[in-house]
Structure 1
Amino acid sequence: MVKMEDVARRARVSTSTVSHVLNGTRKVSAQTVDAVQQAVRELGYIPNTLARSLARSRTYTLGVAISALSNHYFSETVHAIETECARHGLMMLFADTHDDPVQELRVVEALHHRRVDGILLAPSSDPERAALGYLRTHAIPTVLVDRLAAEGFDQVGVENRASTQALVTHLIGHGHQRIGMIAGHRGLSTTEERIEGYRQALSDANLRFDDRLLVNGQSNSESARRAALSLLALPVPPTAIMAANNLMTIGAMQALREAGVQVPDQMALVGFDDFDWADFFLPRLSVIAQPVKALGERAVQLLLQRIDDPEGERQSERLPATLRIRNSCGCPSGVPLKGIEPT
Structure 2
Amino acid sequence: MVTMADVARLAGVNASTVSHVLNGTRTVSGPTREAVLDAVARTGYRQNTLARSLARSSTTTLGLASRFVSNPHFADLVTSIESTARRAGYSLVLADTHDDPAQELRAVHELADRRVDGLLLAPSVHAVDEALPFLARAGIPTVLLDRFADCVFDQVAPENTDATALLTAHLADAGHTSVAFVAGLAGLSSTSERTAGFHRVVRERGLDGVVLDGRSETPVAEAAVLSAFASPGHPTAVVVGNNSMTVGALRALRTLRLRIPDDVALVCYDDPEWADLVDPPLTAIHQDVPAMATRAVTMILERLAGTAPAAPRRERIRPTFRHRASCGCAGPVRHDRGELLTPVP
Q: TM-score range by the shorter chain?
A: 0.7 to 0.9
Q: CA deviation at 1:236?
A: 2.9
- The residue type paired with residue 91 of structure 1 is S
Which residue is equivalent to 2:333? 337
Partners of 2:45 and 2:127 in 1: how far apart? 48
The two structures, once aligned, show a CA RMSD in angstroms of: 2.4
Contact 1:306 1:312 in 2 (8 A): no
Contact 2:132 2:151 in 1 (8 A): no
Q: CA deviation at 1:53?
A: 2.8
Map Cα deviations across residues 296-331 of structure 1 (whole Å, 9 max, x no partner).
111111111112228722111000001100000012
- The residue type paired with residue 329 of structure 2 is C
Partners of 1:89 and 1:46 in 2: how far apart? 18
Map Cα deviations across residues 144-182 of structure 1 (whole Å, 9 max, x no partner).
010011231100000000100111110101111110001
Instruction: Select the residue among 292, 313, 326 that pairs with 1:328.
Output: 326
Partners of 2:325 and 2:173 in 1: how far apart? 14
Which residue is equivalent to 2:316? 318
Q: CA deviation at 1:55?
A: 4.4
Farther-moved stretch of structure 1 (54-63 vs 245-254): 54-63
Instruction: Select the residue among 250, 273, 276 that pairs with 1:276.
Output: 273
Instruction: Select the residue among 279, 285, 288 that pairs with 1:288.
Output: 285
Q: CA deviation at 1:287?
A: 0.5
| Cα distance change, pair 292–127 in 1 and its aligned pair in 2 (3 A) | closer
Q: CA deviation at 1:52?
A: 5.4
Partners of 1:127 and 1:232 in 2: how far apart? 35
| Cα distance change, pair 278–45 in 1 and its aligned pair in 2 (3 A) | farther
Q: Secondary structure at the match of 2:166?
A: helix
- The residue type paired with residue 332 of structure 2 is P
| Cα distance change, pair 281–233 in 1 and its aligned pair in 2 (3 A) | same
Question: 1:70-149 to 2 correspondence within 5 Å?
Answer: 70-126=70-126, 129-149=129-149
Q: CA deviation at 1:3?
A: 4.9
Which residue is equivalent to 1:238? 235
Q: Secondary structure at the match of 1:317?
A: strand
The yes-or-no answer on 1:252 pairing with 2:253 is no
Partners of 1:158 and 1:45 in 2: how far apart? 45
- The residue type paired with residue 82 of structure 1 is E
Contact 1:3 1:45 in 2 (8 A): no
Partners of 1:53 and 1:249 in 2: how far apart? 44
Identity %: 44
Contact 2:68 2:74 in 1 (8 A): yes
Partners of 2:221 and 2:80 in 1: how far apart? 27
Q: Which has the larger radius of gyration?
A: 2
Unaligned runs of 5+ in 2: 1-17, 29-43, 335-339
TM-score between both structures, scaled by the size of structure 1: 0.83
The yes-or-no answer on 1:299 pairing with 2:300 is no
Question: 1:202-241 to 2 correspondence within 5 Å?
Answer: 202-207=202-207, 210=209, 213-233=210-230, 236-241=233-238
Which residue is equivalent to 1:183? 183
Map Cα deviations across residues 269-310 of structure 1 (whole Å, 9 max, x no partner).
111101111101001100001111111111111111112228
Q: CA deviation at 1:235?
A: 5.9
Contact 1:157 1:317 in 2 (8 A): yes
TM-score between both structures, scaled by the size of structure 2: 0.82
Contact 1:82 1:92 in 2 (8 A): yes
- The residue type paired with residue 80 of structure 1 is S
| Cα distance change, pair 46–154 in 1 and its aligned pair in 2 (3 A) | farther
Partners of 1:342 and 1:301 in 2: how far apart? 33
Contact 1:336 1:342 in 2 (8 A): yes
Q: Secondary structure at the match of 2:333?
A: coil
